[in-house]
A and B are shown apart, each in its own frame.
Chain A
Amino acid sequence: MIPLVKDALVYANCVTMMSIGFTLVYLISRIPNFAQSTFAVVGVYCTFSMVRIFEINPYMAMPLGFILGALLALLVYLGIVNTLMKYGAGPILLTISLLAIQQIFLAGVNIYADYVRNVIGVYSRGFMLRANDFRVGEYPGVLLVSSFTVIVVIVGMHFMLTRTQFGIAMRATVENAPLASVLGINIKRVSIISWMITGGLAGLAGTFLPLWFSSGPGSGGMLSTSVFAASVVGGLTNIYGAILGGYVISLLEVWGSYLLMRTFGLWIGAYRMLIPLALMSIILMYEPGGIASIIEKLRAKFSGSKRVREEESI
């Protein structure tokens, strides 16, 4: 397997896990969750602590990252988002408050990194833990574990959304929250669980990052543009769109930048982040509904039926 595929797949797995969460929160609360990338940074430092401080297997960080991310998301939802919604704050105020939360959490992580460096004496920024990973033949462990995790997450999400009562309650809340609450669905519980899933997935995605990429407090920012782009390209209205968008964007980003580097020289690699941004802009200009609405239109066209799903008001 050529290294480029490994690179792209590990990255795509992380981005997809986060874009699923981003879309989920957007569907439930109608706000872009800018604090999400910080949950990933928390995951990054879970792995770091496991390897460098406690010196045990890096994969022990997975449950810890998931739980910490979920708890932080719970804190954010109950402490800020729910409180503000009760006071009648609109989406813009909520977005600003999420930016504030992002700044607070990031500062917290930075304090932890400083503390580790100054008190414990371990270098804590810009680390890469590839050497601590296991290998199966020519495949690095992180590739296998992250792919397996993504498959489990996707199958689990699909099963939850289509087979369980909770998933149906969730879909009802997304379609029409007031109506759902009239039918006896506890919207607050649905929101809390969605936020926790989001935080947990972001934390989980973060635990894989340092095993393949150079990481630090800035890793969240590195991922966030791709995650926004993936969610927007996926349509922001559909979990399956987010999965597709995650893979499309991150594979195009990694391979596109590789092709550009081969054509124009290595210097262009620094502008890699502009690829998802450009793709997102193009999609928004020509098809704001993203992949989800493209597929919907194609299906309507080929099945010959007149029924096109009503455009989501955006």
Chain B
Amino acid sequence: MIEDIFLKWCIDLFMFFLIYLIVTMNLNFMYGYTGIPHFGISLSVAGGGYVTGALTGRILRWVYNVYPELDFMYENSKITKEINAHLANDPFVGIGVFLLIIVISLLINAGLGYIVSRPAIRLSGSYLIIVLIGMAEAMRIIGMNYYPLVGGTFWVHVPDVFNWMGDFRTEGFLMICMLFTLATFLLLQAMSTSPLGRVVKAVRENPTSAECVGKDVVGIRTKVIVLCSALTSIAGVLYGFYIHAVLSTSYTRSAWTFYPWLMFMVGGIGNNMGAVLGTFIFTTLRRLIIFFKHDIEIFVPFQVQWLEQIMTGVMLLLIIIFRPRGLLPEKPTKMRGLDYDRFHNELEEKGVKVPERDARENILQRLLRRLKV
């Protein structure tokens, strides 16, 4: 019994870890590598969720011709139940629709990313932040008020496209999520160690000088926002399929903007391993709080949720004050085929002063270095 609950908790934790990891890594690529302070990342997650909620059920209803006379939103439970019965022995349609939704979500969110970045991408810092926060809020308002999209402040069921897996369903979906997260990780890692990674770092460090050597700063920023918005929306899609529903009220600023920011600030800005570490620490903490919520609730005359928000806020402030670069600070990107020690020595012989590497290592870094990560 206890083992069973623990196993379920572990799977749930791992699911959330994977979903949040996609958001965090993309955010890290946008802010950590390119220097775009994207405070409206919940917009892309919500975008993915809305695509899932609005289209999955409708496409499948059209495929199976389930109750064509009923209103999709009002009779949602009935229609979804019927669709799920069809899906239980139809793996090809299930997988096909899942992939189709991912592709549609990528396309739509790339477009959304382009639109929201337009007003302020030329301007720096504060203006961009204000606009992006406003846009994310607008997305939420639209989802909450436009009933045919995802059912307004109610929710819309998402048909279980992996219903054919039977008892193996939870583990199977976990593996699919793992594949997507791994693909995102590898893509972003490859991008950050490629010439593109060095260009975006140049854009982050000094846009003016990047422009002087012929790099199109605005173009690069736009491309990064578009790409990362599209990739982030995968998290929204997976989240929708995981909880079998899309709830417009769940895409709040604190859940999908503030927490991912907190995660990669904890882990380390400008490196993907930091994003992984931060996301792991933080999702574990949050799942633990949620698990023990009812035990705490007896002792206080208010909802534990607020306590959690205060705790996470204070945690972020402490991290910013005491470890502004996170647990795993950024290291210079290594180019393959370059002997760094020789490079270092040659530069010193020529009399060029090479800045010392950060000599202090914390325990975790040492551990990771030993493990050759």
Contact A89 B141 (CB under 8 A): no
Within 8 A of B (CB), among A100-153: 100-101, 103-104, 106-108, 110-111, 114-115, 118-119
Report the nearest B residue to A110, measured CB to CB: B306
**For the complex, is A182 an interface residue (Cβ under 8 Å from B)?**
no
Beyond A271-B145, A277-B134, whether A104 also contacts B309 by CB under 8 A is yes
Tell me the smallest distance from the CB of B355 to a CB of chain A, in Å: 18
- Give A103 to B133 CA distance when docked, in angstroms: 14
**For the complex, is A4 an interface residue (Cβ under 8 Å from B)?**
no
Interface of chain B, helix or strand or loop or mixed? helix
- Give A282 to B134 CA distance when docked, in angstroms: 14
Report the nearest B residue to A217, measured CB to CB: B306
**For the complex, is B288 an interface residue (Cβ under 8 Å from A)?**
no
Q: Out of A32, A101, A277, name the residue touching B129 (CB < 8 Å).
A: A32
Residues from chain A with Cβ under 8 Å of B302 in the complex: 110-111, 114-115, 118
Within 8 A of A (CB), among B269-287: none
**For the complex, is A49 an interface residue (Cβ under 8 Å from B)?**
no
- Give A111 to B123 CA distance when docked, in angstroms: 38
Residues from chain B with Cβ under 8 Å of A53 in the complex: none
**For the complex, is A288 an interface residue (Cβ under 8 Å from B)?**
yes
Residues from chain A with Cβ under 8 Å of B31 in the complex: 92
Q: Out of B125, B306, B316, B317, name the residue touching A114 (CB < 8 Å).
A: B306
Contact A104 B310 (CB under 8 A): yes
Within 8 A of A (CB), among B250-301: 254, 258, 261-262, 265, 301
- Give A110 to B145 CA distance when docked, in angstroms: 24
- Give A225 to B130 CA distance when docked, in angstroms: 9
Report the nearest B residue to A90, measured CB to CB: B125
**For the complex, is A57 an interface residue (Cβ under 8 Å from B)?**
no
Contact B123 A288 (CB under 8 A): yes
Residues from chain A with Cβ under 8 Å of B183 in the complex: none
Q: Mark B309-334, 1 if CB is under 8 A from A, else 0.
A: 11011101100110010000000000
Report the nearest B residue to A278, measured CB to CB: B138
9-residue interface stretch from A9-17, A79-87, A187-195: A79-87
Contact B126 A26 (CB under 8 A): yes
Contact A273 B141 (CB under 8 A): yes
Contact A89 B320 (CB under 8 A): yes
Q: Out of A108, A284, A314, name the residue touching B119 (CB < 8 Å).
A: A284
**For the complex, is B131 an interface residue (Cβ under 8 Å from A)?**
yes
Beyond A103-B258, A103-B309, whether A119 also contacts B134 by CB under 8 A is no
Residues from chain B with Cβ under 8 Å of A288 in the complex: 122-123, 127
Contact B321 A83 (CB under 8 A): yes
Q: How many residues of A contact B (CB 8 A)?
A: 49
Category for how many chain B residues contact A: 35 or more
Residues from chain A with Cβ under 8 Å of B314 in the complex: 100, 104
Contact B320 A96 (CB under 8 A): yes
Beyond A32-B130, A99-B39, A119-B301, whether A281 also contacts B324 by CB under 8 A is no
Q: Out of A96, A103, A107, A273, name the residue touching B137 (CB < 8 Å).
A: A273
**For the complex, is B78 an interface residue (Cβ under 8 Å from A)?**
no
**For the complex, is A274 an interface residue (Cβ under 8 Å from B)?**
yes
Contact A103 B317 (CB under 8 A): no
Residues from chain A with Cβ under 8 Å of B39 in the complex: 95, 99
Residues from chain B with Cβ under 8 Å of A280 in the complex: 119, 130-131, 134
Residues from chain A with Cβ under 8 Å of B124 in the complex: 314
- Give A101 to B301 CA distance when docked, in angstroms: 23
**For the complex, is B142 an interface residue (Cβ under 8 Å from A)?**
yes
Residue among A99, A271, A285 facing the most chain B CB atoms (10 A cut-off)? A99
20 contacts between A and B (CB under 8 A): A80-B317, A87-B324, A95-B37, A96-B265, A97-B316, A99-B261, A100-B320, A103-B313, A104-B310, A104-B313, A104-B314, A107-B309, A110-B302, A225-B134, A225-B137, A270-B145, A281-B118, A281-B119, A281-B131, A288-B123
Q: Which of B's residues lie within 8 Å of A, judged by CB?
A: 31, 37, 39, 118-120, 122-127, 129-131, 133-135, 137-138, 141-142, 144-145, 254, 258, 261-262, 265, 301-303, 306-307, 309-310, 312-314, 316-317, 320-321, 324
10 new A-B contacts at CB < 8 Å, known A84-B321, A95-B129? A91-B126, A92-B31, A92-B125, A97-B320, A99-B39, A110-B306, A221-B137, A273-B141, A288-B123, A288-B127
